[in-house]
Amino acid sequence: PALQAYDFLHLYRHYGCLIQLGGADQLGNIMSGYDLVSKVTDKDVYGITVPLITTTTGDKLGKSAGNAVWLNRNRTSPFELYQFFVRQPDATVERYLKLFTFLSGMEIDHIMQVHAKEPEKRGPQKRLAAEVIKLVHGKNGLE
């Protein structure tokens, strides 16, 4: 945690960084950085954690787990990213729609209701994939 704490201090001093964002598993590191910056500078900084993205078995997705999906098209092509989301099981797709899209809760509920009647069409998975690709790569990413 000492190096991560110093990292936050460095970002604060050199770039005016006031917020550190990380996965829920990084709370300890974020708090160490918060404590160091607050003590050294007497300024308020903030830490935000987000839920970890996990598989249906609870395994973490990420580079340390060897199953990272990158937003950079040079590391994961738009096609590969699309396929990643289309292959998601029913057990995760609703959660991912809520986490990764700007669709309303009502729209997601409707998508899931239609899916319950026609699961073979994989409608939520295709919608999730399309929404993510548009956010990350623009509409051209779907071509």
Question: In whole numbers, what is the pLDDT of the chain averaged over residues?
Answer: 93
Q: What is the reported pLDDT for 137? A: 95
DSSP for 45-95?
A: -EEEEEPPPB-TTSPBPSTTTT----SSTTTS-HHHHHHHHHT--HHHHHH
Q: Where are the domains of the chain?
A: 1-50, 78-141
Neighbours of 34 (CB within 10 A): 17
Q: What is the amino acid identity at position 7?
A: D
DSSP one-letter code for 27: H
Using CA atoms, how far apart are residues 65 and 84, in angstroms rounded to an integer?
16
Does residue 99 have a pLDDT over 90? yes
- The reply to whether CATH 1.10.240.10 applies to domain 78-141 is yes
Tell me the average pLDDT across 66-82: 91
Residues 6+ apart with CB under 8 A from 126: 86
Tell me the average pLDDT across 120-134: 98
Residues 6+ apart with CB under 8 A from 99: 51, 53
Q: What is the reported pLDDT for 124? A: 99
pLDDT band, residue 12 (cuts 50/70/90): very high
